[in-house]
Amino acid sequence: MSERVVHTPPEATGEAPPRGRLAGRRILVLGGGQMEIGEADTPIGNGRAISVLCAREGAGVAVADRDLASAIATVSLIEKENNQAFAIQADATKEDDIVRMIGEAHKGLGSLDGIVLNVGIGAGGAWLDGTTAESWDKVFAINLRSHMLTVKHAMAKLEDASSIVFISSIAGLTAGSRLPAYDSSKAALFGLCRHVAFEGARRWIRANVVAPGLMDTSIGRLATRGRPNRAATNIPLNRQGTGWETAYATLFLLSEESSYITGQTLAVDGGLSGL
């Protein structure tokens, strides 16, 4: 049997040239750092790729993360390309931190017309038997409550016709992670997004969800360590995705190219959830 050919365009590897798709925009990326997992050459994660790509495409970017050093490392990558960004330390589980983060981003950028929420964990045991009330509440505080609070406090500061992008997961579309709290919280983001889109429509503020599938990122590799058969999943496009591919989907939804799209979910999963 011949090997299947894998198509990996320059966009998938972060090597495509900039096209000015976000020229003049001002974007806050919450979760713009990257988890270190002890590997020497870990692939770029979703949040870092989104931050770098937004800046590469012309936006000023505020990179917020609980780990300030990681946010600074993202900013350094952006500055190496002669683009503009700055780092903000913020714990998304703390409402005071969220309010301060939004204020710092707004002041540092001059205004805000885009927010990306890339925050989430998969804590808790497997299956319902392994799920405790405490682990459930922790997951929802990070994966859902933080998103609600960020959007709540940001709405008044967002410019008309801004765009909000929630980063969820295909775990919210189809069962498989074996983590009930994770699956449920990721599905709940779809409902939150629809409300935000409904509420924001009067000011042309759009809200959409990007739902990545099996991605070759630091978090993805950590998940595979815990569940090795994850790496053998049969994906229709015959490979795992990259952080850059999550970033390009997010870029589209942030840009005016998607000006008539709101309240929607875009799966970036190589066909896994649909095929």
Q: What is the mean pLDDT of the chain?
A: 94
Average of per-residue pLDDT across 140-153: 98
**What's the CATH number for 21-268?**
3.40.50.720
Biggest CA-to-CA distance, the chain: 59
Residue range 167-214, pLDDT digits in tens: 999 999 998 888 999 999 999 999 999 999 999 999 999 999 999 999
Contact 269, 213 (CB under 8 A): yes
pLDDT grade for 3, boundaries at 50, 70 and 90: low
Average of per-residue pLDDT across 16-21: 98
CA distance 21 to 43: 24
Contact 268, 211 (CB under 8 A): yes
Average of per-residue pLDDT across 28-48: 91
Nearest Cα neighbor of 123 from 144, 102, 103, 140 is 140
The pLDDT value given to residue 2: 46
The pLDDT value given to residue 229: 77
How many Cβ atoms are within 10 Å of 84's Cβ, its own excluded?
16
Q: Where are the beta strands (DSSP E) in the chain?
A: 26-30, 60-65, 85-89, 112-117, 158-167, 206-212, 265-268
Catalytic residue among 86, 166, 182, 244: 182
The pLDDT value given to residue 106: 98
pLDDT grade for 120, boundaries at 50, 70 and 90: very high
Residue 1, pLDDT above cutoff 70: no
Contact 60, 28 (CB under 8 A): no
Residue 57, pLDDT above cutoff 50: yes
CA distance 62 to 83: 12
Residue 123, pLDDT above cutoff 80: no
243-254 helix and 46-56 helix, angle to the nearest 10 degrees: 50
The pLDDT value given to residue 237: 95
pLDDT grade for 230, boundaries at 50, 70 and 90: confident
Who wins on pLDDT, 235 or 219?
A: 235
> Is 182 annotated as catalytic?
yes
DSSP label at residue 5: P
The pLDDT value given to residue 35: 86
Length of the chain: 275
The DSSP H or E segment spanning 245 is helix 243-254
The pLDDT value given to residue 264: 98
Average of per-residue pLDDT across 66-90: 98
The pLDDT value given to residue 81: 97
Question: What are all long-range contacts of 194-199, with beta carbons under 8 Å and residues at least 24 apart?
Answer: 194/263, 196/151, 196/164, 197/262, 197/263, 198/263, 199/155
Domain ranges of the chain: 21-268
- The residue type of 260 is Y
Min mean pLDDT across 11-20, 33-42, 83-92 is at 33-42
How many Cβ atoms are within 10 Å of 221's Cβ, its own excluded?
18
Residue 217, pLDDT above cutoff 90: no
**What single string gives the DSSP state of each residue in 97-157?**
HHHHHHHHHHHHHSSEEEEEE------S-STTTT--HHHHHHHHIIIIIHHHHHHHHHGGG
